[in-house]
């Protein structure tokens, strides 16, 4: 028996494609695996990243290689506004609402995982740069699937 985990690049590509196809995210720049955006003029901006993978055991009796694959993913969301931090925060929250809605609308991420789990949003950066308010949020979530045998 050969064991084959899911290729995480396929999952991050599915996330990027899913976001790019969502009508509420039209016009948003979406990148995968690139440096995190440093320019407020490039907003609204989304970046798709992998954070880690866990392979917990799943079912007894299926053999030592049979495991779940929990792929930890991050979507970085950024917004900017020329006038006020609160207006920037509103734009960022609107963007987050659309991103999370898009992800939850296809919890299999185009068939690359079985289910999405453990959604969490964190706000690591508030700043003013180049005369604009510039805010960042990280959406952490996990795609869970089974490792396959062939």
pTM above 0.85, yes or no: yes
- Looking at residue 67, its pLDDT comes to 82
* C-alpha to C-alpha distance for 73 and 51, rounded to whole angstroms: 5
Per-residue pLDDT tens digits for 47-81:
999 999 998 886 655 555 578 899 999 999 999 99
Prior bond to 44 cis, omega within 30?
A: yes
Task: Please state which of the four CATH numbers 3.30.70.890, 3.40.50.450, 3.30.1490.480, 3.30.70.1700 is assigned to the domain occupying 3-149.
Answer: 3.30.70.1700
Domain parsing of the chain, residue ranges = 3-149
Q: Which two three-digit tokens encode residue 48?
A: 């798709």
Q: In whole numbers, what is the pLDDT of the chain averaged over residues?
A: 93
pLDDT for the residue 80: 97
pLDDT for residue 48: 98
């Amino acid at each position: 028996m050969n064991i084959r985990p899911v290729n995480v690049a396929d999952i991050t590509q599915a996330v990027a494609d899913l976001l790019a196809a969502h009508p509420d995210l039209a016009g948003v720049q979406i990148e995968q695996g690139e440096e995190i955006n440093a320019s407020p003029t490039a907003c609204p901006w989304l970046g798709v990243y992998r954070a880690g993978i866990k392979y917990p055991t799943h079912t007894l009796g299926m053999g030592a290689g049979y495991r779940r694959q929990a792929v930890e993913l991050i979507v970085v969301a950024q917004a900017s506004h020329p006038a006020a931090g609160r207006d920037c925060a509103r734009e960022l929250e609107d963007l987050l609402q659309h991103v999370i809605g898009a992800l939850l609308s296809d919890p299999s991420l185009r068939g690359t995982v079985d289910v999405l789990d453990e959604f969490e949003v964190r706000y690591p950066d508030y700043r003013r740069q180049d005369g604009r308010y510039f805010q960042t949020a990280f959406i952490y979530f996990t795609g869970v699937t089974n490792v396959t045998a062939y």
